[in-house]
Amino acid sequence: MSEPLRAMMIGAHPDDVDICTCGITKRLVSKGCIVRFVSMTTGNAGHQTMRGEELIKTRAAEAQKSAAYLGATYEILPFDDGRLTPSLEARETLMRTIRNFKPDVIFTNRACDYHPDHRATGQLVQDCSYLMGVPAICPDTPVLRKTPTILYWADGFTDPKPFRSDFARPADDDRKTLFHVECCHASQFLDWLP
């Protein structure tokens, strides 16, 4: 019996991946795929009044609620919102996260985006892509036998290079799913961006 497909969605903030991949996540989970969401930052700068540990805990709880609704799991890495860079520390943290999950496919943002955290996330995934199979890099985690396929979710950015869709799928009831996921992230869609 073959192992189920493993998909990892990697974004910058605790809502990016669920918002950008909720439709495909729902479809993958319904087919038996194991889906892991990863946020590179804690989201600790993403509110107009809430700060510190209160905001970190709020965003984490919202992320877990969204993941549970979609049938995924959520991992939030310890980097500061608004301050993510493609540093060696961030790269090695992400490398270990990817290797430990062993995804067959990764969905992420491109390194062409309006938000510096999104650009850094795309760059970090790209930087990890070859190194996943290099044993001397992060030797405490086993290398992957097979490099995951890396896909980018759609964006509207045209500079320096417009997004080009290599494939598409029907939207089905994605709007309803997206609305529910947005409601899970109340601090972002009902408080911050009402």
Q: What is the pLDDT of residue 48?
A: 86
Confidence of residue 170 (pLDDT cuts 50, 70, 90): low
102 touches 6 (CB < 8 A)? yes
11 touches 20 (CB < 8 A)? yes
Torsion, Cα 43 107 124 162, to 10 degrees, reads -100
39 touches 9 (CB < 8 A)? no
Q: Pairing state of beta strands 105-108 and 34-41?
A: unpaired
Go through the domains of the chain in sequence order and give each one's CATH number. Answer: 6-192 (3.40.50.10320)
Q: What is the pLDDT of residue 188?
A: 86
Percent over 90 (pLDDT), the chain: 73
Q: Does the predicted TM-score (pTM) go above 0.85?
A: yes
Q: What is the pLDDT of residue 172?
A: 66
35 touches 72 (CB < 8 A)? yes
